[in-house]
Amino acid sequence: MSKLFTVFAFLFVSTFTFGQSCCFVTKDEMQLMASNKAFMRSHKLPKPYRHISQAGGAMITFATPDGQQANAFFIKAAKPTNYTLFVFQEWWGLNDHIKREAEHFYTDLGNVNVLAIDMYDGKVATTREEAGKYMGGANPLRLESIIKGAIAYAGSKAKIATVGWCFGGALSLKASILAGSQATACVMYYGMPVKDVEQLKTLNTDVLGLFAGREKFISPAVVKEFEDNMKLAGKGIQIKSFDAEHAFANPSNPAYDKAATEEAWKLATNYFKARLN
């Protein structure tokens, strides 16, 4: 009887642990688009840029649950605070443009820690082919482990906000789901939404979605489905679709939309300021 109980207990704990640790075990539609030629062409090559932090930002490492280490660009708040903003890269990787955007948020939002997370373990793409390879080839379990390591690094008392663009837009939403009760705000720029209503039900925050109305990949139909799914899940959702193409808010994009970028930035920062206080 004792052996039977022990076996049952082990199976229960194993099942529970697996369910808790494997929210996103397969590649989503965004990763599967990585080799799509039209999707690749929609990304202009980033302009050269080297970021020199004016706010004391520096690269750090932190442990991940899979026994490895991960990297991030970290800017510590001037005064102690429980608020941390996770910033997620585009498909290019954690390049200097993303570090600049992280610092831009740090400057505009005030007293908040900012952690721009390296989801490619040190790899940064300089060509569309490399970006497609890195995004499409990323192991979902490793991506999840990096996010969980970042949550642990922020600390059990941290109130976590997330933001990201493109691939990072999708990761922003997933990170807010993984943050559980610590999630306090989520902004996603033109990233593929989570479509599982049961996963969306676990969100502890509402979401601001900033999308490109002219793109064919995360299309208006995909955005409408996301909005409907969030409502089915009983979660708050604000959507703004701009008359623009994918990656419109990327300042390193030679064809980025300045007016749409500025409007989206105002919406994002106002959203965060209302929740990070």
Say if residues 222 and 229 touch (Cβ distance below 8 Å): no
Nearest alpha-carbon partner for 194 in 166, 162, 236, 222:
222
Half-sphere exposure of 123 (CA within 13 A, CB side): 15
Say if residues 237 and 209 touch (Cβ distance below 8 Å): yes
SS3 145: helix
What are the structure tokens assigned to 206, written together? 């509402």
Close Cβ partners of 151 (under 8 Å, ≥ 6 residues apart)? 158, 160, 175, 178, 179, 182
User: Any idea which residue has 């965004």 for tokens?
Assistant: 30
What are the structure tokens assigned to 167, written together? 């691939």
What are the structure tokens assigned to 199, written together? 């996963």
Q: What is the pLDDT of residue 15?
A: 36
> In which order are the strands placed within the sheet that holds 237-242?
58-63, 69-75, 113-118, 83-88, 159-165, 183-189, 207-212, 237-242
Q: What is the pLDDT of residue 22?
A: 52
Q: Which residues of the chain have pLDDT under 50?
A: 1-21
Close Cβ partners of 112 (under 8 Å, ≥ 6 residues apart)? 77, 81, 83, 84, 85, 105, 106, 161, 276
